[in-house]
Amino acid sequence: ALVDPGGEAEKIKAEVAKQGVTITQILLTHGHLDHVGAAAELADHYQVPIYGPDKEDAFWLDGLPAQSRMFGLEECA
C-alpha cells in the first residue's frame, strides 16, 4: 500500500518500480494537500482503490484545486 502520497507522483512511480513492489491500495490518513495530492493520479496509474480519509475531511478534498492554486502547485483533483 501507499500511504499519504502527497505529491511528486513521478518520483513515487519510479521508486515503486525500482523496489519492484506491487501497489494494491492507497491509504489516506487525512485530507491535507501534502497527504493526498498525488493519490488520484497514482490510483489511476496502478488501478487501485483509495481508502480514507475520514468523512469529516471531505471539505479538504473538495478544496484541493483551490489549495493547489494557493501554493502555486499544479492543480490536483
7-26 pLDDT, tens digit per residue, is 899 999 999 999 999 999 99
Q: Is residue 76 part of a domain?
A: no
Q: How many distinct structural domains can be found in the chain?
A: 1
pLDDT of residue 19: 97
Reported confidence tier of residue 59, pLDDT bands at 50, 70, 90: low
User: 10 by DSSP, 3-state: which?
Assistant: helix
Q: Is residue 75 part of a domain?
A: no
| Cα–Cα distance list, 48 to 24, 32, 71 (Å) | 6, 20, 28
User: 3 by DSSP, 3-state: which?
Assistant: strand
Q: Is residue 38 part of a domain?
A: yes
| Domain coverage including residue 6 | 2-70
Q: Is residue 58 part of a domain?
A: yes
Reported confidence tier of residue 34, pLDDT bands at 50, 70, 90: confident
pLDDT of residue 58: 67
Q: Provide the mean pLDDT of the chain.
A: 85
Please compute the mean of the pLDDT values over residues 43-52 and round it to a whole number. 95
User: Can you tell me the distance from the alpha carbon of 18 to that of 28, in angstroms, rounded to the nearest whole number?
Assistant: 23
Specify which residues 2 forms β-bridges with: 26
Q: Is residue 10 part of a domain?
A: yes
User: Can you tell me the distance from the alpha carbon of 19 to that of 75, in angstroms, rounded to the nearest whole number?
Assistant: 28
Q: Is residue 77 part of a domain?
A: no
User: Can you tell me the distance from the alpha carbon of 73 to that of 27, in angstroms, rounded to the nearest whole number?
Assistant: 22
